[in-house]
Amino acid sequence: MQSYSYIDIDQINLISDGSKELVSDLALIFKNQAPAFARQFDELYFSKNFLALSKLAHKVKGSVSTIGITRLVESMKELEHIAKEGVSKEKYSVLIDEFKTVSQKALNELNHYLENNKTEPI
């Protein structure tokens, strides 16, 4: 079985109950959501709306967990917490950039996974 750096296949299979079609659907949803999340992160960060930034990080945390991008779960949890408290503001942009980079790499891996498992790539 192929090893991936950005997605957790076991988590994906657990959530999808092994349904490749569901994985494909979830991946497509996330592919469509990710750019909007990135824009919202930037808008909220630059407008210094840190409470809303915290709420968005909470929402994104659920999305990345569902699609098996487990390495972003802790980052989004951290962003959620520090933005809610208004502390460690120097970390906000780092965590937002991590979301942008990792989510794109994870989507590439999901596409590879789906292609190699006889499901339409996203």
What pLDDT score was predicted for residue 74? 96
Whether residue 35 lies inside any domain: the answer is: yes
Within a domain: 121: no
Q: Supply the pLDDT for residue 1.
A: 60
Q: What does the pLDDT read at residue 121? A: 55
Q: Angle at the Cα of 6 (from 22 to 18), degrees rounded to 5?
A: 25
How far apart, in whole angstroms, are the C-alpha atoms of residue 11 and residue 104? Answer: 18
CATH of the domain at 68: 1.20.120
pLDDT in tens, 19-65: 889 988 998 999 999 999 999 999 999 999 999 999 999 999 999 99
Would residue 4 count as lying in a domain?
Answer: no
Query: Is 78 inside a domain boundary?
Result: yes
- The boundaries of the domain holding residue 52 are 9-116
pLDDT of residue 57: 98
Q: What's the confidence (pLDDT) of residue 18?
A: 82
- 3 located within any domain: no
- Which pLDDT score is estimated for 62? 95
Per-residue pLDDT tens digits for 70-121: 999 999 999 999 999 999 999 999 999 999 999 999 999 999 988 887 755 5
**CA 106/CA 8 separation, integer angstroms:** 10
Give the count of beta carbons closer than 10 Å to the beta carbon of residue 11: 16
Q: What amino acid is encoded at 102 in this protein? A: V
pTM (predicted TM-score): 0.90
Residue 55, domain member (yes or no): yes
pLDDT of residue 119: 58
Residue 122, in any domain of the structure:
no
Q: Establish if 98 belongs to a structural domain.
A: yes
